[in-house]
Structure 1
């Protein structure tokens, strides 16, 4: 959920480099997954204390870069497929509220089909 001006910058950045030819939805989704995996690497093998310590160093910028990469590819995908991310999230939250009623799931990590 980035603002319209930043999205316009992203689209222009891509257009100036003639990268639209490579940015079909399949390849954008693949790139999004790869970037999400790189984000996971930042946390791999680290406990909560180590993560907190890293957040207080210059390594924080590397984490922010990975998060930005994920956001950029997700923004491209939504733009190219004409998906309003904010509306999609709102709709999904409504579905999640129905699947996970507070009175049944509060404080539990069960999947919706595992609780009684």
Structure 2
């Protein structure tokens, strides 16, 4: 049986610093009262529109074109990704979830669900693998 160990080397202090900056931004505006986990999750669901805008950037592009965005489209994609990411980081902070640890655990779970020997080069879902 092949196993995979995946290491994530992104410094978690950078994520924590970003979460602290977002918390300070909210505090300065007296928005913390509104930033409950429930409200942040609801706000994140509202970001479906932002994800839609992200999809519009890539709509009708060939796979090759989607990998070579113009500077303007890349900037637009960057802004939409940041909107979604900031809500996720703020929600994780409010729920006391260590984002790096959660991602590392999820990568390991996915490695178990998608063993290389069964999924290499396949786009099948884990329950369709032989």
Give the TM bin, normalised by the shorter chain: 0.7 to 0.9
Q: What does residue 52 of structure 2 align with?
A: 37
Higher relative contact order (CA 8 A, sep 6+): 2
Separation (CA, whole Å) in 2 of partners of 1:27 and 1:38: 22
1:74-89 residue pairs with structure 2 within 5 A?
74-89=88-103
TM-score between the two structures when normalised by the length of structure 2: 0.75
Deviation for aligned residue 1:39: 2.3
TM-score between the two structures when normalised by the length of structure 1: 0.83
Task: Give the conservation status (yes or no) of the 8 Å contact 2:57–2:73.
Answer: no
Q: What does residue 58 of structure 1 align with?
A: 72
Separation (CA, whole Å) in 1 of partners of 2:76 and 2:123: 30
Q: What does residue 11 of structure 1 align with?
A: 23
SS at match of 1:7: helix
Separation (CA, whole Å) in 2 of partners of 1:28 and 1:44: 28
Structure 1: gaps (5+ residues): none
1:20-31 residue pairs with structure 2 within 5 A?
20-31=32-43
Question: How many equivalent pairs are there?
Answer: 115
SS at match of 1:59: helix
Separation (CA, whole Å) in 1 of partners of 2:61 and 2:43: 25
SS at match of 2:52: helix
Q: What does residue 123 of structure 2 align with?
A: 109
